[in-house]
Structure 1
């Protein structure tokens, strides 16, 4: 019986020892991976071109006057080689289809807004026109523009506010 009691005592001591020894703690972690596959795109920013006030007599006939530079910027380009742009808005048939003055109050008459491509030159951008901008895999691109007043020869003009909005749609390739 002593032997049997000793075995029981040894087992009890062994079990008590296991309770005292700290057990190894298990821990878990999660790895989260996310992303997007983009179909070649850029972010196009709105462009504002503020024309300087101009004397009515200084608005040249048949050409843009009071030109101010502007830029249409594209950033965050991924997988883009070319941006095909199209221009839309309201053309003014009485002003050689330049952009119609859409000022909501105290609007000038007999004058439109001319939009020109690039920092120099005489290439006008009108409703329905298109323009391509080469990106060639870069992360950004830009289209330099100029805007000014336009008055067709033989048009009566009155002083007032001038403004227009032109919608530019980009197709990324």
Structure 2
């Protein structure tokens, strides 16, 4: 038979004691936890071809006769934004947020003096994706090639009220705001 040293007896006593005490506190809440934190570090995003004051687009003067019925488009105008110096990315996804029009929830509201009109905003390939004021999951997608991307957009001035409701339609100014949000892939 092998001799058991005092050191081994002490270790066995500690192990035995820990088995008994672990069972006694098995229902207690844990006093520690792990937090798993993830991130992606990229060299840089793209450099915007516009400054922080924003971008303005003038749709010009539009005759009320060109907006005779609900859904009529009185003016449309393209807008091109550029991104340069994009590294480590192949796509940019653009969404828009803003106040929706009370008569057409797919259009950005007008805070000017004209009544019964709102602005629609389109982007992506052929400007075929409508950017919705209250749906940031609806994105217009653009390819980043050689570190650059051209974001082609199209703004449209739309009549949003029925022709039978002439009190809800009036000439005046159009002021509309859309905040563009960019995410990279």
* TM-score category of the 2 structures, normalised to the smaller one: 0.5 to 0.7
> In the comparison of the two structures, how many residue pairs are matched?
133
Inter-CA distance 87–119: structure 2 relative to 1 (3 Å threshold): same
1:43 aligns with 2:62: no
> Matched residue of 1:99: which SS?
coil
Q: Deviations over 1:80-133 (max 9, x none)?
A: 111122210111131243000023xxx111110111226856542222221221
2:118 alignment partner in structure 1 = 112
Counterpart pick for 1:163 among 165, 168, 175: 175
| TM-score (norm. length: structure 2) | 0.63
> Matched residue of 1:58: which SS?
helix
Structure 2 CA distance for aligned equivalents of residues 116 and 42 of structure 1: 22
**Alignment RMSD, CA only?**
2.3
Inter-CA distance 142–63: structure 2 relative to 1 (3 Å threshold): farther
Larger CA Rg, structure 1 vs 2: 1
2:4 alignment partner in structure 1 = none
2:150 alignment partner in structure 1 = 142
| TM-score (norm. length: structure 1) | 0.67
Structure 1 unaligned spans of 5+ = 1-36
- CA drift of 1:50 comes to 1.1
1:100 aligns with 2:89: no
Contact map agreement 2:127 2:154 (CA 8 A) in 1: no
Structure 2 unaligned spans of 5+ = 1-40
**Going by fraction, where is strand more abundant, 1 or 2?**
1
